[in-house]
Structure 1
């Protein structure tokens, strides 16, 4: 069982599939619009990961024909488009697929109930602050856990001065 190379034909097959899949994905993304890959909430993130997984399976799996993989990719894009379209037109659907941003700290005060509800530790919150331009809680106007899992830190540089700063997602903290 070869570790580094199975066959030159296998390499050629993967390269050819990449070429066709890449071209098809570019066309599909251009047709569906920028919103398809926007990671505005957890639902969007899951769809983006699923799209990447589908593309990888299509390219690397010998048992998945290109057309079937692209059909799966197109179906995921269509479903993402439909859910985004429906959520713009229906508050009920919007509430079903999208969460609200959560204020975790305000003017240096940690909001412990919000931390518990969002399952964020105070240590994680302090890490976010230390890695932001605020550096310390005293320099923080607000810390918000956004709908996509990222933290936004709004600093207090001076009286009335508010500078937004967005950090990485909670999984990376």
Structure 2
């Protein structure tokens, strides 16, 4: 086993120390310039872009064959594509349907909707945890529960007058 498994040389460390902060600052600048939507609660598409950004940043930091300029361009391209996709989805319901899921009703009037829960792969325990977070301990106090597009569960309680 060669020594480069543990230490590849001072040049690699120096490159990482130089390129790392520059790539990081470029990424932060581009994220700030792209607007709050880029950093909002994530749907599946946003998660993919976030993972791709992290992977690209890691590649720029650790792969000596990727120059900083190319890495920054790749980061900018991913952020630009995400901006275009969200811009189009705000302006076209048809396009939005391609990239964003619809919320799903998973509980109504205290009754779990087992078919919807199975399709969405969510358990009663997860809904009950969301109920507790909403301050509700009894299913009879729930008007409905909705699995949102970002994977969170929204609980709507019945009003205090019983309706």
TM-score bin (small chain): 0.7 to 0.9
- Where does the alignment leave 5 or more consecutive residues of structure 1 unmatched? 162-173
TM-score by length of 2: 0.82
Distance in 2 of aligned mates of 1:128 and 1:97: 26
Displacement, 1:79? 0.7
- Please say which structure displays the higher CA radius of gyration: 2
| Greater helix share, structure number | 2
| Greater strand share, structure number | 1
Distance in 2 of aligned mates of 1:135 and 1:53: 41
- How many pairs does the alignment contain? 161
**Residue 150 of structure 1: which of 117, 130, 152 is its match?**
152
Larger RCO: Structure 1 or Structure 2 (Cα < 8 Å, ≥ 6 residues apart)? 2
1:24-35 matches, within 5 Å, as 24-35=26-37
Distance in 1 of aligned mates of 2:63 and 2:43: 30
Displacement, 1:39? 3.2
**Cross-structure match for 1:75:** 77
TM-score by length of 1: 0.78
**Cross-structure match for 1:106:** 108
Distance in 1 of aligned mates of 2:70 and 2:29: 17
Assess if the C-alpha contact under 8 Å between 1:142 and 1:154 holds in 2: yes
Q: Report the 3-state secondary structure (helix = DSSP H, G, I; strand = E; otherwise coil) of the residue aligned with 1:85.
A: helix
- Where does the alignment leave 5 or more consecutive residues of structure 2 unmatched? none
**Cα RMSD over matched residues?**
2.5
Assess if the C-alpha contact under 8 Å between 1:39 and 1:45 holds in 2: no
**Cross-structure match for 1:19:** 21
Deviations 1:68-123 (A, max 9, x none): 21111111111111111111221210111111111111231111221122122334
Distance in 2 of aligned mates of 1:110 and 1:32: 40
Assess if the C-alpha contact under 8 Å between 1:143 and 1:154 holds in 2: yes
**Cross-structure match for 2:67:** 65
Q: 1:141 to 1:8 in 2, by over 3 A?
A: farther
